Amino acid sequence: MDVLVIVVVVVVTALVFDFTNGFHDTANAMATSIATGALRPKAAVTIAGLLNLAGAFLSVEVAKTISGGIVAEALITPVVIFAGLVGAILWNLLTWLLGLPSSSSHALFGGLIGATLMAAGPNAVNGTAVLGKVVLPAVVSPLLAGLVAVTATFVAYRITARADAGTAHRGFRIGQVVSASTVALAHGTNDAQKTMGVITLTLITAGALAPGSAPPFWVVASAGLAIALGTYVGGWRIIRTLGRRISDIQTTQGFTAETTSATVILASSHLGLPISTTQVCTGAIFGAGAGRRLATVHWSVAGRMALAWAVTLPAAAVVGAAASWTAASGPFGVVVVAVGGLALAAGMYAASRRNPVNALNVNDVPTLPPVPAATRSGQEAA
């Protein structure tokens, strides 16, 4: 297949992944603000989309990590990257259909690693980089965010214990607009760069860029626009899970969860660590839930999420490897992968229409079953 043709196909596929990343991860920034009523649903996703776009222009450190650190660009081709992207997109769509806030980042890494292993063998994957820049941050970041959020929530309730309840509520509600916006900006800074890195890696493997090159401006702009459009569409199923099914979130908790998430994500972006914003935000929401006395925290939901997180990278890797094996047969194989991926994506979209979730019903969740007192977490200053 002509190199230019496959490069165009990979760039388009990468932007499709970026779009799914946007609507899959909208919940990271806006779920708690929508749940508490601090922002109306459509206003929330509009703000998030604009700030995702702005955030894409703030840094390229994460993009450099992906384009030159995870896999050996000299040992793979654009076809391999295409196969990895197909694996990532399909996993994103499946977890979106199920309403599970899994990691788009790990889906991307898994797809690329699986496709690379199938095409070029284990020597083409930088195991040290995968461990240090993917696996360890995946374990540490949600725990760190949860610990900071539970502490911040406890402190916030203690400080406002003697304040007028209505005044405190209004203050934190206004604060949520700022904190949620900061998370959206941070999300664009970290997640949009992942697509930039993939496109840059494609251009390097095709010989259009020198190894170690930063993303060209058109790559930065297109990745920012794609994730912003996806964010505006709104991943309502996952917004419902994070905003309504983890805990009975109040404005104070929403503010502390969002502030914690933004701090961790921005610090990671500065360090060039491609962390999962989904895991950071989810950890912060659980921490904020546990930081309020008598809050109903549904740890069974956490268990399902943790299972999804654990299988994301290997599941996407399996799909990426299968797509890579098929695409390696030549142009016909690439077409088979593309058509098969489109068919599966269309099937998942059709399934989602049977029980649609949108801006009008995102908060219409039946009351969650009571949690035994022994499992309730957190302390609030009396």
Query: For the whole model, what pTM was predicted?
Result: 0.82
Kindly state whether residue 367 falls inside one of the protein's structural domains.
no
Q: Please indicate, yes or no, if residue 192 is contained in any of the structural domains.
A: yes
pLDDT value at position 365? 58
Report if residue 377 sits inside a domain: no
Here the tokens at position 365 are: 């969740």
Q: Distance from CA of residue 14 to its chain's centroid?
A: 15
Q: How far apart are CA 182 and CA 130, in angstroms?
A: 28
Q: Where are the alpha helices (DSSP H) in 272-380?
A: 277-290, 299-327, 331-352
CA 345, CA 352: separation in Å to the nearest integer? 11
The total number of residues written for the chain in this structure: 382
Domain that holds residue 336: 3-361
Residue 377's pLDDT is: 40
**Contact indicator for 319, 111 with CB cutoff of 8 Å:** yes
Residue 283's nearest CA partner among 311, 310, 264, 268 is 264
Residue 213: which H helix or E strand, with range? none
pLDDT in tens, the chain (382 residues): 578 889 999 999 999 999 998 888 776 778 888 888 888 889 988 998 999 899 888 877 777 777 667 888 788 889 999 999 999 999 989 988 888 888 888 898 899 999 999 999 998 998 888 888 788 888 888 999 999 999 999 999 999 988 888 888 889 999 999 998 998 888 888 888 888 989 998 998 888 888 888 889 999 999 999 999 998 887 788 888 777 777 777 899 989 999 999 999 888 877 777 778 888 988 998 899 888 876 677 777 778 888 888 899 999 999 999 999 999 988 899 999 999 999 999 999 999 888 888 888 887 754 444 444 444 443 333 3
> Domain total for the chain?
1
**Is residue 320 in some structural domain?**
yes
Please tell me the predicted confidence (pLDDT) of residue 376.
43
**Per-residue pLDDT, 59:** 74
SS3 97: helix
Q: 138: which 2 tokens?
A: 């995946």
Alpha helices, DSSP H only, in 121-164? Answer: 127-130, 136-159
pLDDT value of residue 378: 38
**Residues forming beta bridges with residue 377, ordered by sequence position:** 295
Supply the pLDDT for residue 68: 66
Domain-located, residue 371: no
For the beta carbon of residue 143, count every other beta carbon within 10 angstroms.
12
| Residues forming beta bridges with residue 262, ordered by sequence position | none
Q: Is residue 378 part of a domain?
A: no
Q: Is residue 379 part of a domain?
A: no
Residues linked to residue 71 through DSSP beta bridges, in sequence order: 125
For residue 68, tell me if it sits in a domain. yes
SS3 295: strand
Question: What's the number of CA atoms in the CB half-sphere (13 Å) around residue 131?
Answer: 3
Q: 106 and 33 in contact (C-beta within 8 Å)?
A: no
